Amino acid sequence: MKVVVIGGTGLIGSNVVQRLGRDGHEVVAASPSTGVDLMTGQGLARVLEGAQVVVDVANAPSFEDEAVMTFFETTTRNLSVAEHAAGVEHHLALSVVGTERLQQSGYFRAKSVQETQIKASPIPYTLLRATQFFEFVGGIIESSAQGDVVRLSPALIQPIAADDVSAVLADLATGMPLNDTVEVAGPDRFPLDELARKFLAAHKDPRTVIADVHARYFGSELDDRTLVAGNGHRTGPTRFHTWLSRSVARD
């Protein structure tokens, strides 16, 4: 089976490419570095020739409200048109748990539009919504830091290892399209401020984390439902403390 992974040279995409390749599938990583430009459509017809499945894990290069909306609207439309012309049988896309609960953020408004476009396309689809990656906890901390103080909401978060998300994507790519949304999350829930303290302590970072119920997460205030998966979600096996220990050992 030929599978094209859009965004196939990034964190998730390269992992999916490796997994599917090990299983014997013909896998092509599509990205600007391989001559595929989603914004213009350049290279799409060529790379999709003979493909049965497309896995879209591409992300916007800018999170500015107008730019990110333009990116997801344009790329999803171009991809749908090219898939239809090529006879693609399954469109699998990565999205985010809680997208509809984070609409104060331009990024998540754009992800909602992307999901709507995928559902309206004639291509059978599967949407995988994942919770926040362990790998991005450091970035969340930095975005909330002011000097030696980090202000974060104590709302619950259910983060997951990027490797576990990639494993689910690879599994879904080889199955039938569900024409539905699947959620995947990590095995544990933590208050976000507590998660940050664990991360900083492991890295021997002396900054102080303050719990603030009004602290914003990419523009949105949080509650205990915003960043956790619903009933029936898939669960990644990797626990945060295991991932953190490995991450620190690699530094």
pLDDT at residue 169 in the model = 98
Structural domain of 208 = 2-250
Residue 203 neighbours by CB under 8 Å, 6+ apart: 248, 251
* Closest CA relative to residue 126, chosen from 115, 137, 135, 134: 115
The phi-psi region of residue 35 (left if phi > 0; otherwise alpha if psi is between -120 and 50; otherwise beta) is: left
The phi-psi region of residue 218 (left if phi > 0; otherwise alpha if psi is between -120 and 50; otherwise beta) is: left
151: Cα separation from own chain's centroid: 24
How many CB atoms within 10 Å of residue 40? Answer: 11
For position 220, which CATH number holds?
A: 3.40.50.720
pLDDT per residue as tens, the chain (251 positions): 999 999 999 999 999 999 999 999 999 999 999 999 999 999 999 999 999 999 999 999 888 999 999 999 999 999 999 999 999 999 999 999 999 999 999 999 999 999 999 999 999 999 999 999 999 999 999 999 999 999 999 999 999 999 999 999 999 999 999 999 999 999 999 999 999 999 999 999 999 999 999 999 988 899 999 999 999 999 999 999 999 999 998 87
Count of structural domains, the chain: 1
User: In the structure encoding, which two tokens stand for residue 219, read together?
Assistant: 């523009």
> For the chain, what's the residue count?
251
